[in-house]
């Protein structure tokens, strides 16, 4: 009998005896979730580039942004003082900065009348979040400046803006 056969044989015996069986009980983690440790001087540029939505047409990526800002608020962080966030809407994500009427005309995904994300975007704007729309995407999709929500700013290119902001100390995030 070879050395390898002996080792395999011992392994099979141990497994059969239950000594190598995996635990069937789940271990519960009683620790609270980790929180953000850095709570000041945060600069983030968030790329919204997907048209993916959840039920009712809400942007999955925009919900992620909202969750992040809610977490900051729960920690007592103040926008403009503790953190600065810029959202760059490009590619498929550009549709979310459309007015209600433009959204109804130009977005082919099934949705209730109007832009379902408008209210969330208005809240983000009131919280001091800057929102930029990619001009190249606008041209490609046939969007006009009047199609955009009034608090948005058109930039020459979304990717170029992200690169500029990264060189200015912003961290890029794509939820």
- Please check whether residue 37 lies inside any domain of the structure: no
Tens of pLDDT, residues 21-75: 445 556 677 777 777 777 889 999 999 999 999 988 899 999 999 999 999 999 9
Structural domain includes residue 53:
yes
Please give the residue that has the higher pLDDT: either 158 or 5: 158
- Buried b / exposed e over 34-56, threshold 16 CB at 10 Å, is eeeeeeeeeebbbbbbbbebeee
Provide the domain count of the chain: 1
Residue 141 belongs to some domain of the structure: yes
Would residue 150 count as lying in a domain? yes
Question: Using one digit for the tens of pLDDT, what is the confidence trace for 100-111?
Answer: 999 999 998 888
Q: What is the pLDDT of residues 109-140, one digit of tens each?
A: 888 899 999 999 999 999 999 999 999 999 99
Pick the closest to residue 87 from 61, 107, 119, 58 (CA basis). Answer: 61
Decide if 58 contacts 95 (C-beta within 8 A): no
Q: Is residue 36 part of a domain?
A: no
pLDDT tier at 6, thresholds 50, 70, 90: very low
Give me the CATH number covering residue 119.
3.40.1260.10
State yes or no: pLDDT of 8 exceeds 60. Answer: no
């Amino acid at each position: 009998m070879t050395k390898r056969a002996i080792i395999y044989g011992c392994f099979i015996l141990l497994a059969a005896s239950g000594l190598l069986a995996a635990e069937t009980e789940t271990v519960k983690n009683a620790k609270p979730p980790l929180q953000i440790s850095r709570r000041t001087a945060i600069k983030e540029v968030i790329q919204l580039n997907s048209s993916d939505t959840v039920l009712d047409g809400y942007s999955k990526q925009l919900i992620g942004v909202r969750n992040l800002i809610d977490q900051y608020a729960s920690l007592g962080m103040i926008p403009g003082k503790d953190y600065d966030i810029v959202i760059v809407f490009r590619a498929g994500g550009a549709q979310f900065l459309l007015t209600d009427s433009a959204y109804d005309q130009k977005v082919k995904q099934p949705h209730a009348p109007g832009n379902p994300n408008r209210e969330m975007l208005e809240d983000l704007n009131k919280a001091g979040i800057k929102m930029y729309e990619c001009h190249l995407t606008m041209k490609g999709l046939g969007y006009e400046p009047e199609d955009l929500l009034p608090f948005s700013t058109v930039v020459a290119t979304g990717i170029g803006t992200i690169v500029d902001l990264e060189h200015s100390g912003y961290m890029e995030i794509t939820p």
